[in-house]
Amino acid sequence: MLTEEDACRLVLAEIDAVRSHVTYDLQILRVGSLPFGWIFYWGAVWDGRNGQRPRLGGNGPFLVDRENERLIRTATSVPIPRQIADYERRLRSEAHARNIAAKQAAQQP
């Protein structure tokens, strides 16, 4: 099971992979708590020269699942609440499949 600190390290590793493609610094901007883990919003550091944050393409937030240690990069073209709901539906479906498999295994002679 991941802690928020562990999840942060996973996200920072993903952000590090992007850093080589841009000329400005990137960081985690905000972290939100979710029933299954966290959502990490990230982007460019505020630019003190012109008072604006550089815009990035494709910097959708990351979802991190504390139980199965998944890091999910979200799409920028789909609303975040919908992606969270889709992932929660996936988790319920996986739990259901595990329950069925366990029942079937218990019924085996």
| Average pLDDT of the residues in 83-88 | 96
Range of the structural domain that residue 49 is part of: 4-107
Q: Which two tokens stand for residue 83?
A: 């992606």
CA separation for the pair 94, 86 (Å, rounded) = 12
CA 42 to chain centroid, in Å, comes to: 11
Domain count, the chain: 1
| Average pLDDT of the residues in 70-91 | 95
Among 74, 19, 9, smallest CA distance to 43 is for: 19
CA separation for the pair 53, 12 (Å, rounded) = 19
| Average pLDDT of the residues in 72-90 | 95
Query: What's the pLDDT tens digit per position in 6-20?
Result: 999 999 999 998 888
DSSP of 15-75: HHHHHTT-SS-EEEEEEEEETTEEEEEEEEPPBTTTTBPPP-SS-PPEEEETTT--EEEPP
37 sits in the region (left: phi over 0; alpha: psi -120 to 50; else beta) called: left
